[in-house]
Amino acid sequence: MTNQDIDRSDYRVRQIVRRSGGAVALPIDPGQRSYGNSDGGDINLAAILRIIMEWRWLIVGAVAVGLVGAVLLTLFTTPLYRGTATIEINPPTVEILEDSKGQAQGMKSGDYLATQVGLLQSRSLAQRVAQDLNLASNAEFVPATGDREQRAKIAVNKLSDGFSVQPAPSGQLIKISYSATSPALAAKIANSFADSFIATNLERRYDASSYARNFLQQQIGKVKGELEKSERQLVEYAQAQGIINTVNQQKDQVSGDVNSLQGASLVALNQALAEAQTKRIAAEQAYRQTAAVGMTAEVNQSTQAIRQQRVALEAEYREKLTTMKPDYPDMISLRSRINELDRQIRSEAAQTASGRSNTLRAEYQAAAAAERTLQGRVAELKGSVINLRGRSIEYNILQREVDTNRSLYDALLQRYKEIGVAGGVGTNLVSIVDRAEIPASPFSPNLPFNLAIGLGLGLLVGIGGAFVIEFINDTITTPDDVRDKLKLASLGVIPKMTGQKSLAEELEDQTSHISEAYFSLRTSLQFTTDNGAPKSLLITSCRAAEGKSSTALAMAQNFARLGRRVLLIDADLRKPTFKVKAEDRGLSKLLTNHEPLNSQTFKTYFENLWLIPCGPLPPNPAELLATGRFTALLTEALGRFDMVIVDGPPVLGLADAPLLGAVCQGTLMVVESSRTRTKVAVDSINRLQSSGSQILGAVLTKFKRQSHGYGYGYGYSYEPYKYGGSIDKRELEIKLIEQQGDD
């Protein structure tokens, strides 16, 4: 068939399926089949619901067991009481510092709270509580067997197991609880945990400061001894070398040559030498400039009075010269007096210049002598300082060691003083908010909670077990499995027979589920080819007892009801299905001779239906079917009947079914639901395909539609109607008319 023909046939099949209420999948192109490599096995909601419905009793049983177990657990569990106390933890206040990136750093309250929770859960705290309450001797808490050490360990382990800590989601509150069989003991132990934790916290802080003090005392004593030793070595070396250090030890000064006596003297002499050089230069300059402006000023100052007298006499002389002549006696007297004053001025100037020059020379010579003296002394001290510098190397080493030891000693002493001031117990960082009270009722066992857990576990185990069984049991169960796993069209679904009715009775009742299912299969077969149902149809299965013979009989009857002349051939030459009285007649006789077809054909009491039984069982069935005789018989049958249905043997392990499928126009696979494994079905299909069989599709038999959640509408109410003919009540026994032939 072409693709267009297949599409048209698929459309007709859909229309018939919608009218008949059947479940038929579309034919699949054989060239596109990929057996055993299905990608359609994904879990979806419908598959989940199907699995749950199929294994509902397993799930219900698991849930029942879970609920019963929860009830029994609640009844047989010893009641537990819980005592709860609430404590508050205040992190210590610390100075917030900044790191190298400028970000604030400090103690995180969350980290501190987590640390305190860990301390609450520590074994040492449980040991203290056990010791404070003397639980090792409490027969109610610890069995009175073994020595005290063993009982103490048991008590500590029991305290750790029953104790729980629950920090608040936010804030600094912590709830501590203890569970015990005695309500009074539970409250007592919870309060003891709180009290012991506070006491332990205080002791830990005191022990930490005490340890620091002891450590600092040891370090101070050690450093003090080293300081005294280094100072003693420094003094001894200075005495031996004659080094006198003038540095003030109470001030932070840099050591050097100026700290020694020679260095200090050298510094002082250098300063005096500089001053002497300054005086000598000034005296020399004054001495060499006596003849210049400096002497004239001296002379003018010393003869100023005489010069004033001369100026007055000179003024008087000139005034009188206007009235008198120069040789007048008064004028001569005035001139004489003026000349005398000139002489006195010259004499006074000469005396002043001579005295000043002598004075400046003497000062210059004295300054020069002082300078030379100081230069000699400085030279001597330079040699001493250079010698002292060589001898002061070891001195400086010892001095630095003394300074280092003194700094360490001062720092340790200061730290010891600080710890002594702030090392007290101080305020406690842990306080009790609510003390534990004796509980009025037990918190365990909790029946609703246990029932919820039992229900959840029952559902989990039941559903999980259903899925595990479903996936371990890799069988063809639903029509979806036929399409997805086998890549075949699902042409029909035959429900499993229930009740006491036989197949013949079910087929006779036109309103039964079995009849409706086979009607749907017949309708699907009518649209598998362009010309309707194939004229020669092989019905086979993977293995025995899957319902292929029932399907063959039902299809033969259904097509006969349409008015067609139908021939049913029992081709299972190994284990025949249809029983007749004439056991020596049948298909095996036709295959071994050349008798005409009608010689072995029996007319049944069902209208338009004939049967060729198996006949005597041959020793070589496959060899008989491999000859051309069966092909000739099938050709003859198609010339005399409208349709030939061949009930073949199972496929696996036998060569008969592939031989029959090769000569029939179509093959219908019968698959038993929940029994036929996927690999077995795939192998059977591959064998049929390799022989050239044209597989039209598959029909799923013995299907439990309720457990799989499928509803095909087989329960419609019809008025019963009957076709002519009768069928014996024994299943698969056909009542034959004794006459032979096709008339």
pLDDT digits (tens, 9 = 90+) for 508-548: 888 888 999 999 999 999 998 888 899 999 999 999 989 99
**Mean pLDDT, to the nearest integer, of 283-298?**
57
Q: Per residue in 211-266, pLDDT tens?
A: 677 777 788 888 878 888 888 877 777 777 666 665 544 444 444 555 555 566 66
Six-digit token pair at 339?
A: 């000349």
| Residues linked to residue 259 through DSSP beta bridges, in sequence order | none
What single string gives the DSSP state of each residue in 285-298?
A: HHHHTIIIIIHHHH
Q: What is the pLDDT of residue 252?
A: 43
DSSP letter (8 states) at residue 93? P
Q: Residue 13's closest CA among 522, 557, 623?
A: 522
- Say yes or no to pLDDT of 566 above 90: yes
Six-digit token pair at 451?
A: 């029932």
Residues 367 and 351: their CA atoms lie apart, in Å, by: 25
Q: What is the pLDDT of residue 486?
A: 92
Q: What is the pLDDT of residue 302?
A: 60
If pLDDT is split at 50, 70 and 90, which confidence band does 203 have? confident
3-state class (DSSP) for residue 314: helix
If pLDDT is split at 50, 70 and 90, which confidence band does 572 have? very high
Six-digit token pair at 511?
A: 């309103």
Q: What is the pLDDT of residue 421?
A: 53
**Mean pLDDT, to the nearest integer, of 724-741?**
42
3-9+20-38+486-736 is classed CATH 3.20.20.70? no
Q: What is the pLDDT of residue 18?
A: 36
What's the length of the chain? 743
Alpha helices (runs of H) in 289-328, residue ranges in sequence order: 295-302, 304-321
In angstroms, the first-to-last Cα distance of the chain is 35
Six-digit token pair at 239?
A: 């005495």
Cα-flanking dihedrals φ and ψ of residue 494, to 5°?
Answer: -105, 115
If pLDDT is split at 50, 70 and 90, which confidence band does 634 have? very high
Q: Per residue in 97-132, pLDDT tens?
A: 445 554 444 456 678 888 888 888 899 999 989 898
Residues 641 and 471: their CA atoms lie apart, in Å, by: 46
Q: Residue 659's closest CA among 553, 573, 589?
A: 573
Q: Identify the weakest region by mean pLDDT among 283-287, 584-588, 676-680.
A: 283-287
Domain borders along the chain are 3-9+20-38+486-736, 266-391
Q: Per residue in 311-338, pLDDT tens?
A: 887 887 777 777 877 887 878 887 887 8
Q: Identify the weakest region by mean pLDDT among 457-471, 631-645, 719-733.
A: 719-733
3-state class (DSSP) for residue 381: helix
Sheet (strand 602-604) strand order? 490-495, 695-703, 666-672, 536-541, 643-647, 566-570, 609-612, 602-604, 736-740
**Mean pLDDT, to the nearest integer, of 167-173?**
84
Q: Per residue in 693-730, pLDDT tens?
A: 999 999 999 987 655 545 444 443 333 333 333 333 33
Six-digit token pair at 284?
A: 């020399």
Residues 174 and 176: their CA atoms lie apart, in Å, by: 6
**Mean pLDDT, to the nearest integer, of 435-453?**
88
